């Protein structure tokens, strides 16, 4: 199992967490949450996505968020700000406002790919790889993903070979920071171990990330399986908010404070400020006026019991 120094936490709540919410969060409130998240010690924070504001209104202020935070002294050394891009126009917008890390991906489900991007798998892969290379040539970090890597809400099972074919295309292009995204929440631990092992057989130099949804309550179990199988980066959402609006059943992300709580009890990433994460989750619950999917912001943490 990887040692604590190798495990990275990529907080995606401000993007994947908020994109499903019907109540628009004011930019000023997002900045409050962003500044608090910057104090938690997580490694990467996904500020938003560059998508059409009509399709995802919650992301309409992503350019402004990047510009405002870049003009401040609030970003600690070693923390990276990321954004999701779906197309060339989004990449141009991200380059213009100073995004440090671009996340972009292709779905292994033909149906999900067309609903999410309007393109089939092959066309989407060609465009995403070209975008990734362009972003890297501009000096930016690039993470490419395979979405619906463990199943699709529309198609059901997604053949493993279809996932691995996309991984091979990424590796052949030299894009080896790769995330496997369980968009529909269909992953189970043994398949996670099998899939990550197969990816490592393709190229041992791949930096493995994972992005699990908790649609069927298996998010943390899958994260643990990924940890055992060599994943070094975990994407999660504060308070467990989120879900893909273009899948059949949208389930929340693995909850960041729950994930950190598990890691800390295992002796991993005890440097992360769990109290601050819980504080953000509590504030989000108050803002939205409902109980959110996360657990430890309501129950307290294992650290409090001496573990």
Pairing of strands 177-182, 101-107: unpaired
User: What letter would DSSP give residue 296?
Assistant: H
For the residues of 31-58, what is the DSSP string, one character each? Answer: HHHHHHHHTTT-SEEEEEEE--TTT-GG
Contact 13, 281 (CB under 8 A): no
Tokens of 58: 């919650």
Q: What tokens were used for 224? A: 């643990």
DSSP string covering 117-151, please?
A: HSS-HHHHHHHHHHHHHHHHHTT-EEEEEEETTT-
244 is catalytic: yes
Rounded Cα distance between 155 and 110, Å, is 8
Using CA atoms, how far residue 234 sits from 9, 57, 237, in Å, is 5, 26, 10
Angle, CA of 39, 303 and 251, to the nearest 5°: 70
Q: Name 85's bridge partners.
A: 50
Q: How far apart are CA 254 and CA 270, in angstroms?
A: 18
State how far the Cα of 266 lies from the Cα of 27, in Å rounded to an integer: 36
How buried is residue 161: exposed, middle or buried, by Cβ count under 10 Å (0-12/13-18/19+)? Answer: exposed
Active-site annotation holder among 103, 152, 244, 255: 244
- Active site members: 244
């Amino acid at each position: 199992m990887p040692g604590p120094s190798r495990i990275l936490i990529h907080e995606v709540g401000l993007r994947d967490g908020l994109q499903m919410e019907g109540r628009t969060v004011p930019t000023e409130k997002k900045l409050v949450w962003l500044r608090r998240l910057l104090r938690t010690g997580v490694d990467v924070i996904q500020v938003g996505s560059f998508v059409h504001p009509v399709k995802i209104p919650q992301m309409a202020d992503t350019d402004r968020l990047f510009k405002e935070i870049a003009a401040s002294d609030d970003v600690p050394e070693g923390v990276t700000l990321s954004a999701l891009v779906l197309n060339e126009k989004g990449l141009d917008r991200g380059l213009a406002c100073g995004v440090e890390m671009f996340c972009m991906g292709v779905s292994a489900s033909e149906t999900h790919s067309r609903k999410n991007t309007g393109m089939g798998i092959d066309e989407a892969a060609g465009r995403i790889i070209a975008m990734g290379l362009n972003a890297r040539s501009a000096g930016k970090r690039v993470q490419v993903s395979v979405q619906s890597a463990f199943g699709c809400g529309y198609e059901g099972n997604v053949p493993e070979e279809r996932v691995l074919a996309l991984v091979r295309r990424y590796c052949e292009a030299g894009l080896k920071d790769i995330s496997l995204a369980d968009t529909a929440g269909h992953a189970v631990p043994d398949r996670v171990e099998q899939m990550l092992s197969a990816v490592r057989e393709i190229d041992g130099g791949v930096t493995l990330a994972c992005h699990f949804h908790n649609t069927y309550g298996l998010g943390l179990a899958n994260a643990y399986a990924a940890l055992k199988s060599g994943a070094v980066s975990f994407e999660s959402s504060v308070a467990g908010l989120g879900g893909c609006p273009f899948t059949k059943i949208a389930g929340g992300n693995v909850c960041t404070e729950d994930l950190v709580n598990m890691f800390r009890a295992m002796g991993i990433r005890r440097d992360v400020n769990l109290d601050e994460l819980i504080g953000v989750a509590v504030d989000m619950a108050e803002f939205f006026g409902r109980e959110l999917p996360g657990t430890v912001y309501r129950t307290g943490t294992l650290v409090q019991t001496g573990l």
